[in-house]
Amino acid sequence: MASRLNPYISFAGDAREAMEFYQGVFGGRLTLSTYGELGSPDAPEAHQIMHGMLETPGGYTIMGADTPPGMSHHPGDNITISLSGDDGDELRGYWDQLSADGQVTVPLEKQMWGDEFGACVDRFGISWMVNIGQPQE
């Protein structure tokens, strides 16, 4: 198997909701394992997600988990997930869902370099960039 780069997102108790949201955006197969299932059945965080993985039909793999007790949570610090390609309809669809109930920091529109580009922070505090490339002549 070739190497892959997969974003792994840390959440503050809402990993299940976030990962299910991303499944709704991108489609695919979602697997979730809780702290309770993986060895801490009586802990207060037993219902929280220890590991989640979404594998999408488009070839994306997004992983995530709730921040374990005792660790600091810093949503979205120093991370932005970038989506790019030339399938404008697909990427605009992702944009519409990711930016809904979030904060648009750069509207998705044509930029000086010729592509459509936008940036947003979704409702879970994760930063996204979408770049729709224009067909090359």
Q: Which domain holds residue 116?
A: 80-132
- In which band, very low, low, confident or very high, does the pLDDT at 1 lie, cut at 50, 70 and 90? low
pLDDT digits (tens, 9 = 90+) for 108-118: 999 988 899 99
Least confident of 2-6, 30-34, 90-94, 132-136: 2-6
Task: Give strand pairing partners of 103.
Answer: 121
Instruction: Assess if residue 118 is contained within a domain.
Output: yes
Task: Give the residue with greater pLDDT, 74 vs 41.
Answer: 41
Residue 74 lies in a domain: no
The pairing of strands 103-110 and 80-85 is: unpaired
Residue 47 token pair:
């219902």
At residue 120, does pLDDT exceed 70? yes
Encoded tokens for 37: 């299932």
Shared domain check, 85 and 128: yes
The domain spanning residue 107 has which CATH number? 3.10.180.10
- In this structure, the answer to whether residues 85 and 127 fall within a common structural domain is yes
Domain count within the chain: 2
Predicted confidence (pLDDT) at residue 3 exceeds the cutoff of 90:
no
Please, which pLDDT band fits residue 136 given cuts at 50, 70 and 90? low
Task: Kindly report the three-state secondary structure assignment for every residue of the chain.
Answer: CCCCCCCEEEECCCHHHHHHHHHHHHCCEEEEEECCCCCCCCCCCCCCEEEEEEECCCCCEEEEEECCCCCCCCCCCCCEEEEEECCHHHHHHHHHHHHCCCEEEEEEEECCCCCEEEEEECCCCCEEEEEECCCCC
pLDDT surpassing 90 at residue 5: no
Predicted pLDDT of residue 46: 84
Same domain, 53 and 89: no
Per residue in 26-73, pLDDT (tens digit) is 999 999 999 888 777 787 778 899 899 999 999 999 999 998 777 776
Angle (CA) 80 114 119, round 5°: 25
